[in-house]
Amino acid sequence: MANKSIHDTNKNYWDNTADEWFGVTALPTYGVQFITEDELNLFGDVSGKKLLDIGCGSGHSLKYHGDHKAAELWGLDMSTKQIENADKYLKECGYSAKLINAPMEVDAGIPLDYFDYVYSIYAVGWATDLQCTFDRIASYLKKDGVFIFSWKHPLHHCVIVEDDKLIFDKSYFDESWFTYLNDGFAITLCNRKIPTYINALAKAGFVVEYMAEETDKETMLATSDLSERSKKAKMLPLSFVIKARKL
């Protein structure tokens, strides 16, 4: 499937549903029912640092870093509506951010060798060209700069719950693109294996420093009236997060 057609489909989804996603997936959260930045502390001290958020959505993760005294806040998102929401929200919170409305795979005029951190909360998996995206992210970072991203764990997509049992419904090895309807709007995605991310990072010049795929403690300890999602989350990762450093 051509990248342009995937971008058009997904931009249409995000432009039409941005308000429903306002602040839903943002730091300190890395994913639903997943350990948070409060426990992982992957960023450390961001005060005085320059940060770029890839797929910044409504700007809530940028606000989180503003609250932690980051020096510069930059955000990129393909959805015009998300960028409008982020701009309004961050201004209301008293933050000045440089926001760019463009897909993550293109040259959007972002400065090179400039950022201390580039990060992405539940957005990198939307990349139509993962290697190109990671190469660009590496180019934005200073040497020794940090790239942190979270995304849906590929096992989550492959396994369903039936009669309290987890069943493989799709192949973990299948990375083909698929389209489905969510809230009446089409989405086109693919389900990449973990090594696809690791190998693309290595090729882009990153070394992986940490990877986590733990469900949060609350879900792990819960025992009664479990939703299908919770039953799944107790047995396999629903999300993952990776911290990598530019060599």
Ligand X SMILES: C[S@@+](CC[C@H](N)C(=O)[O-])C[C@H]1O[C@@H](n2cnc3c(N)ncnc32)[C@H](O)[C@@H]1O
Q: Which stretch binds ligand X (CB under 6 A): 71-79, 88-96, 197-205, 220-228?
A: 71-79
Contact predicate 118/54, CB 8 Å: yes
Q: Which stretch binds ligand X (CB under 6 A): 34-42, 55-63, 170-178, 229-237?
A: 55-63
Residue 140 near ligand X by CB under 6 A: no
Residue 25 near ligand X by CB under 6 A: yes
Which residues on adjacent β-strands are paired with residue 179?
A: 188
Q: Which stretch binds ligand X (CB under 6 A): 51-59, 177-185, 221-229, 234-242?
A: 51-59
Pick one of 126, 140, 147, 151: the residue that binds ligand X (CB under 6 A): 126
Q: Which stretch binds ligand X (CB under 6 A): 115-123, 167-175, 186-194, 204-212?
A: 115-123
Count CB neighbours of 82 within 10 A. Answer: 27
Residue 239 near ligand X by CB under 6 A: no
Which two structure tokens, joined as six digits, stand for 183?
């809230």
Instruction: Single out the residue of 108, 102, 99 nearest to residue 52, CA to CA.
Output: 99
Choice between 37 and 216, CB closer to ligand X: 37
**Residues 6 or more apart from 26 whose CB is under 8 A from it?**
57, 58, 60, 61, 63, 64, 121
Distance, CA of 186 to CA of 26 (rounded, Å): 23
**Residues 6 or more apart from 96 whose CB is under 8 A from it?**
73, 90
E strand intervals along the chain: 50-54, 72-77, 97-101, 115-121, 141-152, 159-162, 165-168, 178-182, 185-189, 206-212, 239-246
Report, in Å, the least distance between residue 165 CB and ligand X.
30
Report, in Å, the least distance between residue 168 CB and ligand X.
26
Residue 150 near ligand X by CB under 6 A: no
Choice between 118 and 123, CB closer to ligand X: 123
Report, in Å, the least distance between residue 154 CB and ligand X.
17
Mask 72-111, x = binds ligand X (CB under 6 A)?
A: -----xxx--x--------------------xx-------
Distance, CA of 76 to CA of 225 (rounded, Å): 40
Residue 56 near ligand X by CB under 6 A: yes
Burial annotation 51-76 (CB, 10 A radius, 16+ → b, else e): bbbbbbbbbbbbbbbbeeebebbbbb
Choice between 7 and 68, CB closer to ligand X: 7
Where does this chain bind ligand X (CB under 6 A)? Answer: 7, 10, 14, 21, 25-26, 55-58, 60-61, 77-79, 82, 103-104, 121-123, 126-127
